[in-house]
A and B are shown apart, each in its own frame.
Chain A
Amino acid sequence: MKDEERVKVLTPLPLTEEQKDIIYAKLSRIIPRPFVIEEEIDPSLIGGVIILWGELLIDCSIKTQLERLRERILKEEGSPYGNRK
């Protein structure tokens, strides 16, 4: 299996077979060669996964989504109780 690509998947819960199949099926659309999934548990992700393939990083974690939401709210003008007139 020397030619197979290695794709690292960070996940907060151990992946089920169904989840691995879904990931494999979706990644096959962008990875032209056969590949193997290497699973690594990271509870800080909260939910979702982070996929690392070579230099490519696909961040589908809830942790990152929450962080982006936090940044967006903080960038918005006004008080936490709405805009004051």
Chain B
Amino acid sequence: MIRIDRSIIFQIINFVALVLLLLRFLFKPVVKALDARSNRIREELEHIEKEKQALEEERKKLEEELKNLKQKYLEMLDQANREAQRIKETIIQEAYQEAEKIKRDYERRAQREIEQVFAELKEDIVEISKEIVARILKAHLTPEVQTQIIEEMLEEAVRRLEAEMEIVHER
């Protein structure tokens, strides 16, 4: 027959009681605390994940805005270049037209001055020539030459007068 020591039974009862007490007063609070901590960590992780997603969305949004800004910048730059080119061409065109106008004015003025100089020169030459011819004719005017001049020029004048008188008479 098996002999069971009473002290062993008593120890077993103590042990079970200890386990029960530990379960009741130590393990449960610990587990509960661990569960709470675990939940808090999980919630924090979820919160971090949400923050991360929000940040990612923000980053994408900022990247999109940056892309749009770059596009807009390039368009504005292109427009500014076109405008600058247009202004440059306008300025060049206006400068060219102004230069042409100045050139034409100078040419006209020069032409007028040349014509004026030539007209004065012509007048001087004709006047001098007339004086020279007059002197030569005076020097060479003999009674014979004078007779010939009277004969020819007076004949022509008288013929003309006769013709005029005839016309008047016919009327």
Contacts and interface: CB of A to CB of B under 8 A. Distances in A.
B150 A48 contact: yes
B17 interface: no
Contact of B143 (A19, A63, A73): A19
Interface SS, B side: helix
Interface residues of B, number: 28
Contact of A30 (B121, B141, B165): B165
B18 interface: no
Contacts of A12: 138, 141, 146
Given A47-B137, A47-B141, A74 B122 contact: yes
A73 B123 CA distance: 9
Given A56-B161, A70-B127, A80-B125, 19 more contacts: A19-B150, A22-B150, A27-B158, A43-B138, A46-B134, A47-B137, A47-B138, A47-B145, A47-B146, A58-B158, A58-B161, A59-B157, A60-B150, A60-B157, A66-B130, A67-B130, A70-B126, A73-B122, A80-B118
